[in-house]
Structures are given as C-alpha cells and as structure tokens.
Amino acid sequence: DAKTTQPPSMDCAEGRAANLPCNHSTISGNEYVYWYRQIHSQGPQYIIHGLKNNETNEMASLIITEDRKSSTLILPHATLRDTAVYYCIVRVGISNYKLTFGKGTLLTVNP
C-alpha cells in the first residue's frame, strides 16, 4: 500500500471549514483514498473514500488532485464534536479488510 503523510496536528475555529491535507505521492492507479476519524475511546469512524473524482457526502468532502498524489478532507462547518484524530489511508479496493493506519492528524476544534 502507498504510504501517506499527514501533519500531526491542526487547529480550527468552530463554525469554520477544516481542511485536512494528506500526501500520497506513491499511490497506484487502482488504490483508493479512505478517510477515517477516531474520537477518544471509540472505534475509527468511516468518513469518505474516493478514487480520482471529488466526493461529497453528509459528513465531508474529499478533494483529490488531478495527479492523485495528494488529497484534502474538508469538514465544511467544524463543530467541537469534530475534534478527533483523522486518518488518511490508501488501499487497493479489493479485499480492503487490512487497513494500515498511520499516526493521523489530531484536529482540535476550538470554540
């Protein structure tokens, strides 16, 4: 699986958009980008995933660059409950049972 690089921590003001970057410069053509988050003492929560097109769901938007070497997760209106560790994972879609989690980005949303 391709390696991902994320900043260790970020801050965001409540109500503002949170933009979390992820670098995956060695991504292969058939690898998907997944985003999960983990709030303290809970299991990782699936947020969104994509291959090459931008994706949006009720939680967030995923913007993948044209060369697919990086992506950005956007939480449009961050709330205090969005404070969590966010993981960017790259994985071949088939049999995605084994996800390799890095250290992620600790996003702190401040009032």
Partner 1 sequence: KAGVTQTPRYLIKTRGQQVTLSCSPISGHRSVSWYQQTPGQGLQFLFEYFSETQRNKGNFPGRFSGRQFSNSRSEMNVSTLELGDSALYLCASSSDRTSSYNSPLHFGNGTRLTVT
DSSP collapsed to 3 states, the chain:
CCCCECCCEEEEECCCCEEEEEECCCCCCCEEEEEEEECCCCCCEEEEEECCCCEECCCCEEEECCCCCEEEEEECCCCHHHCEEEEEEEEECCCCCCCCCCCCEEEEEEC
Counting contacts by CB under 8 A, is residue 45 touching partner 1?
yes
Q: Exactly one of 46, 65, 76, 77 binds partner 1 (CB under 8 A); which one? A: 46
Q: Which stretch binds partner 1 (CB under 8 A): 5-13, 19-27, 29-37, 54-62?
A: 29-37
Counting contacts by CB under 8 A, is residue 34 touching partner 1?
yes
Smallest gap from Cβ 102 to partner 1, in A, equals 8
Counting contacts by CB under 8 A, is residue 52 touching partner 1?
no
Smallest gap from Cβ 13 to partner 1, in A, equals 29
Residue 73 CA to residue 55 CA, distance in Å, equals 10
Q: Exactly one of 29, 41, 66, 67 binds partner 1 (CB under 8 A); which one? A: 41
Q: Which residues bind partner 1 (CB under 8 A)?
A: 32, 34, 36, 41-46, 49, 51, 93-103
